[in-house]
Structure 1
């Protein structure tokens, strides 16, 4: 099927898209929702320019509507309907075991007529991260939950060493409980690697601290 990826910029969305492609599906576009001012993504507070460069390295168009939380659902549905009119048949999600979000997406699928695929659903979190790394992807931690991980983690590669350290700290290695967010910079889907240039960090919604960065040209 022609698929559109629900795209956060992070490892789970990336691995889900990778698995979908491995299963024979054809990627059509990435869908990233932006804050109301259009400057950053809602999921991971990524600058729009950063997501655009990531999409270009993946060789895929980026659909990026701006939206308030109050108006989120109708804008999301409309974006999917637009993609469907251009040939999309399915939406790929990187959800692993958050039932509330799966239920929400499946209802969106009913509203749009798109099938929703969950390639990572209820897989072992450590197995997923090991598969992601073994496939050759590189990802960096770009947000941490305050009181769970400190700012020293910002910008750090989520590699095998970091994975073991997270396990020792009792933190889920996929951050499925919202402990951290990631940004993928390289891997088998990328035409070129991306290099993060940190410029600081800032506090955001829901007690997160975010890495402020741009990508080297």
Structure 2
């Protein structure tokens, strides 16, 4: 029974949407147990899984959610559209070309330039109007992928956000529950940037708005 209980708890620990609805008393334990057995391939009878669900301590999640939600609602939110994301191979050649990006970007006109570097690749987010100029800086074999028609939601976070767990989890969960795919995220405190398809930008903004209305 102990092994089954720990297995069920581990599933619940990694399912914030289920935790949230459990904390509100909106989930039927029998239905959840059947879901866990069938979808998560838990080898146990339904009574054992229901028992594990009933023993799961959920009160802390609602408190965590409310605290994160309050911080989110104190954040200033702005949006941008018509953006593109260029993924390139990270090597010595492409690194040398990065400074030339600033010859293309005009911050006085409000141009956007976001750069993310990982171990093997670099992502460059820019206005679509500058896309062709940016592409010309790199040889074709260095360009991995280009995503166009993106929108950005910029959360200018409340100072307490850095000490508040759950903010990214709350927002990403809400976006997922509304069928909105997150194309990219960038954290640069006090700003938290979310990139979605431009066609989803208005719906994504409304998700933030509805989060605040729940307080």
Q: Which TM-score band applies after superposition, normalised by the shorter structure?
A: under 0.3
- After TM superposition, the score normalised by the length of structure 2 is 0.25
Between Structure 1 and Structure 2, the one with more helix by share is 2
Larger C-alpha radius of gyration, 1 or 2?
2
- After TM superposition, the score normalised by the length of structure 1 is 0.25
